[in-house]
Chain A
Amino acid sequence: MPDKVKKVLVIGSGPIVIGQAAEFDYAGTQACKALREEGVTSILVNSNPATIMTDEGIADIVYIEPLTVEVLERIIAQERPDGLLPTLGGQTGLNLAVDLANAGVLDKYHVRSLGTPIDTIRKAEDRELFKKMLLEIGEPVPESYIANSLEEAKEAARAIRLPVVIRPAYTLGGTGGGMAHTPEEFEQIVRIGLAVSPVHQVLIEKSLAGWKEIEYEVMRDAADNCISVCNMENVDPMGVHTGDSIVVAPSQTLTDREHQMLRSASLKIIRALGVQGGCNIQFALAPHKVVADAWPTDLKLDWDSQGPPPYYVIEVNPRVSRSSALASKATGYPIARVAAKIAVGKRLDEIPNAVTGKTMAAFEPALDYIVVKIPRWPFDKFALGERSIGTQMKATGEVMAIDRTFEAALHKAVRSLEFGRRTLLWEDRSWGDDWRQYPLHPNDLRLWAIMAALRRGATPEALAERTGYDPWFIYKLHNLVAMERRLLSEPLTPELLRQAKRLGFSDEEIATLADRLPEQVRQLRHQWHIRPVYKMVDTCAAEFEAQTPYFYSTYEQENEAIAEARSKALVLGAGPIRIGQGIEFDYCSVHSAWALQEAGVQSIMANSNPETVSTDFDTSDRLYFEPLDEEAVRDILENESGEDNTATPSIVQFGGQTAINLAQPLAHAGMPLLGSTAETIDIAEDRRRFENFLGRLGIPQPPGAGVTTVEEALRVAETLGYPLLVRPSYVLGGRAMEVVHNASEMIRYLSAAIEMDSKHPVLVDKFMLGKEAEIDGIADGEQVLIPGIMEHIERAGVHSGDSMAVYPGVSLTKDEVNTMVEYAVSIGLALQVKGLMNIQFVIVPRPEGGSTVYVLEVNPRASRTVPFISKVTGVPMVRVATKVMLGISLKEQGYRTGLWPPQRLVAIKAPVFSMSKLAGVDTFLGPEMKSTGEVMGVDHSFEAALAKVLMAADLMLPQRGAILLSIADRHKPEALPIIKQLAAINYKLFATEGTAAMIEAMGLPVTMITKKLSEGHPNAIDVIRDGTVNGVLNIPTGGRIPLRDGFEIRRAAAEKRIPCFTSLDTAQAAVAAVVNGNPSFSVKRLRDYLSPRE
Chain B
Amino acid sequence: MTASSSKKAILVLEDGTVYQGYSFGAEVDTYGEVVFNTSMMGYQEMLTDPSYAGQIVVPTYPMVGNYGINRFDFESDRIQVRGFVVREDCHLPSHWQSGQTLHQYLAENGIPGIAGLDTRALARRLRVSGVMMGFLSCTLGPEEALARLKSLPRYDETDFVKEVGAKESYRLEPDGEARYHIVVVDCGVKRSILRILRGLGCALTVVPPTTPGEDILRLGPDGVVVSPGPGDPALPYLEAVVRALVGRKPIMGICLGHQLLGRVFGGRTFKLKFGHRGGNHPVRDTATGQVYITAQNHGYAVDAESLGPEVEITRVSLNDGTVEGLAHHEYPVLSIQYHSEASPGPRDTLNSFEQFLEMVERGG
The answer to whether residues A301 and B350 also contact, given A254-B41, A256-B45 and a CB cut-off of 8 A, is yes
Which B-chain residue is minimally distant from A367 (CB atoms)? Answer: B40
CB distance from A633 to the nearest CB of B (A): 24
CB <8 Å contact, A364 and B72: no
Report the separation of the CA atoms of residues A708 and B46 in the bound assembly, to the nearest whole angstrom: 66
Asked if A125 is an interface residue, CB under 8 A from chain B, the answer is no
A195-236 Cβ-contact flags toward B at 8 Å (1 or 0): 000000000000000000000000000011111100000000
CB <8 Å contact, B62 and A363: no
Which B-chain residue is minimally distant from A556 (CB atoms)? Answer: B118
- With a cutoff of 8 Å between Cβ atoms, the chain A residues found around residue B118 in the complex are 556-558
Find residues 57-71 in chain B having any chain A CB closer than 8 Å to their own CB: 60-63, 66-67, 70
CB within 8 A of A364: which of B120, B280, B343?
Answer: B280
CB <8 Å contact, A365 and B280: yes
B30-72 Cβ-contact flags toward A at 8 Å (1 or 0): 0000001011111011000000000000001111001100101
Asked if B282 is an interface residue, CB under 8 A from chain A, the answer is yes
Find residues 140-161 in chain B having any chain A CB closer than 8 Å to their own CB: none
CB <8 Å contact, A368 and B120: yes
CB distance from A771 to the nearest CB of B (A): 59
The answer to whether residues A368 and B62 also contact, given A225-B291, A289-B96, A349-B291 and a CB cut-off of 8 A, is yes
Report the separation of the CA atoms of residues A254 and B4 in the bound assembly, to the nearest whole angstrom: 28
The answer to whether residues A256 and B42 also contact, given A499-B1, A541-B123, A543-B123 and a CB cut-off of 8 A, is yes
- With a cutoff of 8 Å between Cβ atoms, the chain A residues found around residue B63 in the complex are 252, 370, 404-406
- With a cutoff of 8 Å between Cβ atoms, the chain A residues found around residue B40 in the complex are 250, 366-367
- With a cutoff of 8 Å between Cβ atoms, the chain A residues found around residue B39 in the complex are 256, 366
- With a cutoff of 8 Å between Cβ atoms, the chain A residues found around residue B319 in the complex are 358-360, 363, 544
Asked if B179 is an interface residue, CB under 8 A from chain A, the answer is no
Asked if A426 is an interface residue, CB under 8 A from chain B, the answer is no
CB <8 Å contact, B347 and A366: no
B276-292 Cβ-contact flags toward A at 8 Å (1 or 0): 00111110100001110
Report the separation of the CA atoms of residues A460 and B39 in the bound assembly, to the nearest whole angstrom: 29
Asked if B202 is an interface residue, CB under 8 A from chain A, the answer is no
The bracket for how many chain A residues form the interface is 35 or more
CB distance from A1058 to the nearest CB of B (A): 48
Find residues 110-165 in chain B having any chain A CB closer than 8 Å to their own CB: 117-121, 123-124, 127
Asked if A264 is an interface residue, CB under 8 A from chain B, the answer is yes
Which A-chain residue is minimally distant from B66 (CB atoms)? Answer: A252
Find residues 258-305 in chain A having any chain B CB closer than 8 Å to their own CB: 259-260, 263-264, 267, 287-289, 292, 297, 299-301
CB <8 Å contact, B62 and A256: no
CB <8 Å contact, B121 and A557: yes
Asked if B342 is an interface residue, CB under 8 A from chain A, the answer is yes
CB distance from A592 to the nearest CB of B (A): 31
CB <8 Å contact, B4 and A495: yes
Number of B positions contacting A (CB below 8 A) = 64
Report the separation of the CA atoms of residues A470 and B68 in the bound assembly, to the nearest whole angstrom: 14
CB within 8 A of B92: which of A368, A472, A543?
Answer: A472
B174-203 Cβ-contact flags toward A at 8 Å (1 or 0): 000000000000000001100110010000
- With a cutoff of 8 Å between Cβ atoms, the chain B residues found around residue A364 in the complex are 279-280, 293, 346
Stretch with Cβ within 8 A of B (4 or more), from A475-483, A894-902, A959-967, A1016-1024:
A475-483
Most buried by A among B38, B279, B291: B291
Tell me the dominant secondary structure on chain A's binding face: loop
- With a cutoff of 8 Å between Cβ atoms, the chain B residues found around residue A681 in the complex are none
Asked if B303 is an interface residue, CB under 8 A from chain A, the answer is no
CB distance from B351 to the nearest CB of A (A): 12
CB <8 Å contact, B1 and A479: yes
Find residues 316-364 in chain B having any chain A CB closer than 8 Å to their own CB: 318-319, 342-348, 350
- With a cutoff of 8 Å between Cβ atoms, the chain B residues found around residue A479 in the complex are 1
A237-263 Cβ-contact flags toward B at 8 Å (1 or 0): 000000000000011111111011001
Report the separation of the CA atoms of residues A369 and B195 in the bound assembly, to the nearest whole angstrom: 33
Most buried by B among A363, A405, A545: A363
CB <8 Å contact, B347 and A264: yes
CB distance from A750 to the nearest CB of B (A): 47
CB <8 Å contact, B66 and A253: yes
CB <8 Å contact, A404 and B62: yes
The answer to whether residues A368 and B60 also contact, given A349-B284, A349-B318, A359-B319 and a CB cut-off of 8 A, is yes
Asked if A450 is an interface residue, CB under 8 A from chain B, the answer is no
CB within 8 A of B120: which of A405, A406, A542?
Answer: A542
Asked if B171 is an interface residue, CB under 8 A from chain A, the answer is no
CB within 8 A of B38: which of A251, A297, A483, A543?
Answer: A543
CB <8 Å contact, B73 and A472: no
* A-B contacts, 15 listed (Cβ < 8 Å): A252-B66, A255-B67, A256-B41, A257-B73, A260-B345, A260-B346, A263-B346, A300-B199, A363-B318, A363-B319, A368-B38, A369-B62, A370-B63, A460-B92, A543-B123
Ranked 5 nearest A-B pairs via Cβ: A256-B42, A558-B121, A472-B94, A557-B118, A256-B344
Chain A interfacial positions (CB closer than 8 Å to B):
223-228, 250-257, 259-260, 263-264, 267, 287-289, 292, 297, 299-301, 347-349, 358-360, 362-370, 404-406, 460, 470-472, 475, 479, 482-483, 495, 499, 503, 535, 540-545, 556-558, 560
